[in-house]
Amino acid sequence: MNSYNNQRQESVDFLSVFLFIILIVLGFMAISSSTSDINWDHFQLSALATKQIFFLAGAFVIVLTILFSNVAVIDYFAYGFYGIALLLNILVVIIGHEVKGAKSWFGIGGFGLQPSEFAKVATALALAKFLGTYGVRFKGWKNIGISLAIFLIPLVVILMQDDTGSALVFLSFFLVLYREGLPGWVLLSALWMGLLSGFRVIGDFQGVSIYYGYGFLFGIASIVILFFRKNKAVIPLIITIAIASAAFYTVVGSAYHTILQRHQKSRIESVLGLKEDAQGIDFHVKQSKIAIGAGKLWGRGFMKGTQTKMGFVPEQHTDFIFDTLAEEWGFIGTTLFFILYVAFLLRLATLSERQTTIFGRVLGYSLVCILFFHFTINIGMTIGLMPVIGIPLPYISYGGSSLWAFTLFLFIFLRVDQVRK
Amino acid sequence: MENSGKRIVFKSLIVVIFVLYWIRLINLQLGEKDYESIAINNALNKITLYPSRSNLFDRHGKLIVYNTHIYDLSVFPFEIKELDTALLSKILELPGADLLHLLEDAKVKAVRRQKNNANNKSTTFYSNLSARQFAFLRENMFRLKGFFIESRTDRQFASKSAPHALGYLGEANETLLESDEYYQPGDLVGITGLERFYEKEFRGIKGIKTVWQNRKYEQKGEVKDSQFNYPSVAGPDATSTLDIEVQNYARQLLEGKKGSIVAIEPRTGEIIAFVNYPDYDPNTLVGRSRANTFKSLLTDPVKPLYNRAVKGVYPPGSTFKTVMAAIALQEGVLEPETTHGCGGGYRLGNIRVGCHPHGGPLDVRGSLQISCNSYYCQVFRDVIDNPKYANVKEGYAVLERHLRSFGLGSPLGIDLMGESRGNIPSVNQLNKRHGKSWKSSTVISLSIGQGEILLTPLQIANLAAIMANRGWYITPHLIRTIDGITDTAWQRKFKFKHYTSVNPMHFETVIEGMAGVTLPGGTANGTGIPGLEICAKTGTAQNPHGKDHSVYMAFAPKENPQIAIAVIVENGGYGATYAAPIANLLIEKYLNPGKETQKPDMEKRMLESKIQ
C-alpha cells in the first residue's frame, strides 16, 4: 500500500503525450470543419468549435492537476471515485434530462455533463485497486464475483439510462480480466455465443425454423465426433457443447424478442444487412460511406466536406467525426490517422505491460481495452462493418465529458507509469 | 509462458482490427465507385430560372402574345412535417383524398429523383395557383413545412382571333423529355402553331441558380462557382406578318360559318390574315384550365382545333381555271383571242360537263369572267392531247409538271407544322383510279378543278399571289423577324422567289379575265368595292357530302398588288354568295385601313349570316 511513498521522478512517457496532443488537434480541426458553414470565412470559429476550445482548456487543467498530484492519493480515493461515479449515474436516471433517447445527461448551465463517461475511468480504478490489493487474485468465486460486479453494476445502471452504447463499453473489462487470468475459452465461448446469436436473429428475421439451427448444430457435432472417434474422452465434451449451444440458441431468440427495444433491434437487423430503409439507420450508414468514399486519395480539402457539413452524415461532429476526417483528408489522411491511433494504442499496451504493480497493469489494460473497444465500434459503424451504436471516438469527437474523462484516464495512467518502480 | 502469450494476443488483436478496417478504407476511398459526385449531388440544389417566352407583335407593332406569371406550389416531400391537411385542402379546394393522392405522387417522384441523383430535389405539387389560392397560401406558408411557391410564366393572347396561327402551349410529353434534355417534366412547350414551329427561338434559355442545400433542405447560400450559376435569357421579341386588325375583322366575317381565310402580301409572301372557323379562345388553353379545355376541344364534333387553312383540302373548283388558262397559253395551245362555243355544256360521247347559261363564243378573258366550263374542257383536252406529245399520258405529265411549279401537290413550307400537300394526281394515280386506258375525256373534270385535284386554302391563296406577281411566289409565312436572329435557313427560305414554268406575259391575259369577275357580267358582280381594282375568280366546289363549298380567290389592286386572298366557306354554295363578299370586304379593309366600308349592307349580311 505504501509502495508509492518514495516516488522516483522520471519524465512522463513522451510518445504517449505527443500522440495524445496530435490526436486532440486533429479532433479539433475536424470538429471546426464539420460544424461550420459551407461558405466558410477564415478565422471564424463555429459556436461548437468555440465550446470545444473551452473543453480543451479544461482538459489542460486536468492534465496539470494530475501531473502534480500524488499517485498515493489517487490510489487512496479509487473506491471513493467509483462510489461517486456510480451515485451520479444512478442519480442521472432520476433527474437527468434526455438527449436523443438516452437519459444520461446533467444539464449545468449551457453545458451537459455525462457521468457515464467518468464511470469508465472510475470503474477501471476500482477494478485495478481491487485486483491490486495484497493477496487478491482473480481466483475463487468471491474474488471473481467482486471483479465482475465492479464493472457489471455500472453496465446495468447505464443500460437503465437507455444508453446501450456506453453500457456495452464496459464489456471491454472482460478483455482486461483475460490478461489477469480469465481463461481464453471463456472469451471464445462468448465469441461462439455471439455467432449463435447472430445466426438466430438472421434466421428469425428470414422466417427460418429454429429446427434447422438444431439440425445444423448436431450435424456439426456428429462430424466432429466422427473425426475424433479414436479419442473417446472428447466425445462427452463435444456432446455437452452441442447441447449447451442448442439451449443457448433457443434462449437467445426469445431474449432478443422480449428484452431489446424496437429501435435497438432495428439497428442490429440493419447491420446484419436484413433491412433496407431509405430514411433510417441504413440511410445514415449509406451517407457515412459516401462521405468516406468521397475523400478519395487526397481528400476534398479542409472545410470542404459537404457530406459532413450539410448534415447528410448524422452526428457529424460527435459519433461520426471520422467521416469528416475521411472526406476532407482522403485515404492519405485516414491512413495517417490509423497509424497514429494504432501507435497510440500499442504504446499504451507496452506501457501497461511494463507496470510493476497489478494496479498499474490493470489500469493500463483497462484504458487500452476501452479505447480499443471505442475505436472498433465507432470506426466500424462509419464504414458499415458494425452496428450503429452511439459511442464517441475518444480524443476526436466533440464533447466535454468524453474528452475530460479520457484525458483524466490517460494521465492518471501515465502518472502511475511515471512513478513505477 | 502464458502471460507473454497473452501480451501478444492483445497487440495482435489491435493490429488485426486496424488492418481489416484499413482494407475497408481502401475499398471505399480508392474503389471504383464515384462517391465524390454522389456527395456533391447530395449537397447541391439546382434551381431552374424560367425565362419569359418571346413577346409577339403584329406587322404594325401591336402586341398580340405576351406572358403572365403563374405560381406553382412545390414541395420537398420528405420535409413535410405534421402537415395540416385540413388547411391545405381548404386552400386548394381539394378533397382530402385527392390531396393524399397528390402527396403520394410527389413522394414517388421524389424517390425516383433521389435514385437518379436529380439536381432539382423538389417536385411540383399543384400548378397554376389561382390569385385567391396564392394569397391564401402566402399567408399560411409558415404552417406548411416542406412546401414553397415557385413562379413560372404562361401565355396570354391579346387577340383571340388567330389561335390556329399562333398555337398553344402544353406540358412537354415523355417523347420530348427523352429526346431533348433541355426539358424537364412540367415545362411548357409549343404544341401547335408558331409556338411549336419557333419553339427553340421563343422559349429563351433557362437559367440555373445553384445553392448549397443541407439535409433539411435549408439553403446555405449560393455556390460561388460561375459554372453552376447563370441567369435565364428571355425569348427575343418577334414580329409576325399578321395584320391584327384585318385578322380580327376576318374572324368576325367568318364567324358562324365553317371555312378558312388566308391573305398574303404577294410581294413578300407575308401572311396578312390567317383564319379558320370554328376556332377556340386561346386564353382558355392556358393555366389551370388547360387540361380540361383541351379535353373538351378535342372531343368537340365541330373540331375547333382543326387548322383548315393548311390541313383542310378542297377541290378548287373554277378558281383552277386561272391556272389552266395560264398553262395552256404557255403550251401554245391557246391564244388570248381563241374562242370556243359553249351550248350550255360540254358533250363528248356520253360524258357531259354542264355549264350555266351565258352569251356565246368567248375568248380567254370572257371565259374567266363568266367561268365557262365547256371552254376549259376544250382547253384541257388541247393541253394533254397536244400532238406534240406521244400520247395523253405524256401530255398529262407536262400539265402535272406545270401545276407543281405553282406549288401545288406538295406542302408550300409555311412556318407551321402539319401542312397538307393537297393533291395533284400523278399519271400513276390516274392509272390506278381509271384503269390504264384512260383518255382526256375520262379525266375531263380535272379541267374545272374537280376530280382528284385537291388544294389547301393556303395553296389557293398562294395561287392568287402568283397571279398578282405574274408568275412567282415567295413561300407564305407568318413570322417576319425575330430580334437578334439573322440569316438562318428559314429566313433565306422566306426571301426566295419561286418562278412558275409559265412566262410572265401569259399571266397578263389571265389577269384581264380576273379583272372582270366583280364587274357587270362577271360571276361575282355586285360584290366588288368601288374604286378598288379587284382581280378575282369565283369557284363552286362540288361536295359529295352536302351543299357545294363557296370558293373565291382574288388580289388587288391590279397593278402593284398589295394583297392576295383566298376564302373558302364550306357548304356556302356559289363562290359569289359568301366567299367573294368576305374576301372583298377584307381587301377593302386592308387597302383602306381605318375607313368605313363602302358596302355596309354586304358587311352586315356577312356578319350576321350563319351556316349550320
Q: Looking at residue B287, what is its pLDDT? A: 81
Nearest CB to A292: which of B28, B43, B111?
B28
Residue B443: pLDDT band with limits 50, 70, 90: very high
The answer, for B545 touching chain A at a CB cutoff of 8 Å, is no
Nearest CB to A312: which of B13, B42, B220?
B42
The closest of B67, B105, B57 to B188, measured between CA atoms, is: B67
Domain assignments of chain B as residue spans, ordered by start: 45-240, 244-608
d(CA A350, CA A420): 14
A228 shares a domain with A197:
yes
Domain boundary among A256, A271, A286: A271
Contacts of A411 (CB under 8 A, 6+ apart): A62, A63, A66, A67
A291 shares a domain with A310:
yes
d(CA A368, CA B596): 105
Q: Output the CA–CA distances (angstroms, integers) from residue B410 to B395, B421, B446, in the order listed.
A: 21, 4, 18
DSSP letter assigned to residue B236: P
Q: What is the pLDDT of residues B379-413, one digit of tens each?
A: 999 999 999 999 999 999 999 999 999 999 999 99
For residue B531 the three cell numbers come to 374604286
Which whole number is the average pLDDT over B333-347? 85
Q: Looking at residue A279, what is its pLDDT? A: 47
B29–A295 C-beta distance less than 8 A? yes
A183 shares a domain with A34:
yes
Q: Looking at residue B77, what is its pLDDT? A: 79
Amino acid in the structure at residue B414: I
Peptide bond into B581 cis (omega under 30): no
Residue A334 lies in a domain: yes
Size of interface A-B (CB pairs under 8 A): 124
Cell 471505442 locates to: A374
CATH code: domain B244-608 is 3.40.710.10
Which whole number is the average pLDDT over A108-112? 73
Residue A141: pLDDT band with limits 50, 70, 90: confident
d(CA B148, CA B141): 7
H helices within B470-599, ranges in order?
A: 489-493, 504-515, 579-591
Q: What is the pLDDT of residues A298-340, one digit of tens each?
A: 988 888 888 888 888 888 888 899 999 999 999 999 999 999 9
Adjacent-strand bridge partners of B340: B362
Q: Looking at residue A267, what is its pLDDT? A: 66
Q: What is the pLDDT of residues B110-123, one digit of tens each?
A: 777 666 656 666 78
Give the helix/strand (H/E) hosting B276. Answer: strand B270-277
The proportion of chain B whose per-residue pLDDT surpasses 70, expressed as a percent, equals 98
The closest of B51, B11, B350, B385 to B199, measured between CA atoms, is: B51
Give the helix/strand (H/E) hosting B171. Answer: strand B169-171
**Domain of residue A241, residue span:** 188-271
Q: Looking at residue A278, what is its pLDDT? A: 43
A178–B6 C-beta distance less than 8 A? yes
**Greater pLDDT, A1 or B353:** B353
- Chain B residues whose CB is inside 8 A of the A330 CB are 29
Domain boundary among A229, A250, A271: A271
A391 shares a domain with A301:
yes
For residue B252 the three cell numbers come to 368576325
Neighbouring C-beta atoms of residue B294, cutoff 10 Å:
17
Shortest distance, CA A34 to any CA of chain B (angstroms): 13
Nearest CB to B29: which of A326, A353, A385?
A326
The closest of B611, B523, B527, B524 to B571, measured between CA atoms, is: B611
Q: Looking at residue A101, what is its pLDDT? A: 67
A332 shares a domain with A264:
no
A182 shares a domain with A170:
yes
Q: What is the pLDDT of residues B545-570, one digit of tens each?
A: 889 999 999 999 999 999 999 999 99
For residue B211 the three cell numbers come to 445553392
Angle at CA of residue B551, ends B523 and B590, nearest 5°:
90
A245 shares a domain with A101:
no
**Greater pLDDT, A1 or B162:** B162
A214 shares a domain with A342:
no
A202 shares a domain with A214:
yes
d(CA A118, CA A409): 9
Residue of A nearest to B11 (CA): A346
Q: What is the mean pLDDT of chain A?
A: 86
Shortest distance, CA A179 to any CA of chain B (angstroms): 6
Q: Looking at residue B493, what is its pLDDT? A: 94
User: What end-to-end distance do the CA atoms of chain B give, in Å?
Assistant: 115
Q: What is the mean pLDDT of chain B?
A: 90
A159 shares a domain with A75:
yes
Q: What is the total count of domains within chain A?
A: 2
Q: Output the CA–CA distances (angstroms, integers) from residue A76 to A2, A355, B564, in the order listed.
A: 10, 18, 116
Nearest CB to B221: which of A38, A287, A311?
A38
* Domains B45-240 and B244-608 fall in the same CATH topology: no
Nearest CB to B18: which of A294, A331, A342?
A342
Residue B245: pLDDT band with limits 50, 70, 90: very high
A333 shares a domain with A364:
yes
The answer, for B5 touching chain A at a CB cutoff of 8 Å, is no
**Greater pLDDT, B122 or A172:** A172
Interior/surface letters A56-73, b for 16+ CB within 10 angstroms, e for the rest: beebeebbeebeeeebee
At residue A198, the 3 state secondary structure works out as helix
CATH code: domain B45-240 is 3.90.1310.10
> DSSP letters of B363-386?
-HHHHHHHT-HHHHHHHHHHHHT-
Nearest CB to B21: which of A293, A300, A379?
A379
A335–B10 C-beta distance less than 8 A? no
Residue A236: pLDDT band with limits 50, 70, 90: confident
CB A35 within 8 A of CB A398: yes
**Greater pLDDT, A267 or A13:** A13
H helices within B52-168, ranges in order?
A: 85-92, 96-115, 131-140, 163-166
Cell 478504407 locates to: B25
pLDDT at A263 over 90: no
Q: Looking at residue A154, what is its pLDDT? A: 95
Helix A78-95 vs helix A140-160: crossing angle, to nearest 10: 30
A306–B7 C-beta distance less than 8 A? no
For residue A273 the three cell numbers come to 444487412
Angle at CA of residue A312, ends A309 and A314, nearest 5°:
90
**Greater pLDDT, B532 or B117:** B532
- What is the complex's ipTM, to 2 decimals? 0.88
Give the helix/strand (H/E) hosting A79. Answer: helix A78-95
pTM tops 0.90, yes or no: no
Query: Which phi and psi (to 5°) does residue A97 adopt?
Result: -115, 160
Burial class (CB in 10 A: 0-12, 13-18, 19+), B310: buried
pLDDT at A272 over 70: no
A360 shares a domain with A290:
yes
d(CA A346, CA A368): 8
d(CA B286, CA B66): 12
The answer, for B38 touching chain A at a CB cutoff of 8 Å, is yes
Long-range contacts formed by B483-488: CB under 8 A, 24+ apart: B483/B236, B483/B237, B483/B238, B484/B236, B485/B201, B485/B236
CB B568 within 8 A of CB B260: yes
B30–A296 C-beta distance less than 8 A? yes
Shortest distance, CA A357 to any CA of chain B (angstroms): 15
Residue A1: pLDDT band with limits 50, 70, 90: very low
The answer, for B26 touching chain A at a CB cutoff of 8 Å, is yes
pLDDT at B469 over 90: yes
The answer, for B17 touching chain A at a CB cutoff of 8 Å, is yes
Residue A3 lies in a domain: no
B39–A290 C-beta distance less than 8 A? yes
Cell 347559261 locates to: B357
Residue A238 lies in a domain: yes
Neighbouring C-beta atoms of residue B355, cutoff 10 Å:
20
Task: Looking at mean pLDDT, say which of A103-117, B147-161, B206-220 comes out highest.
Answer: B147-161
The closest of B274, B136, B216 to B566, measured between CA atoms, is: B274
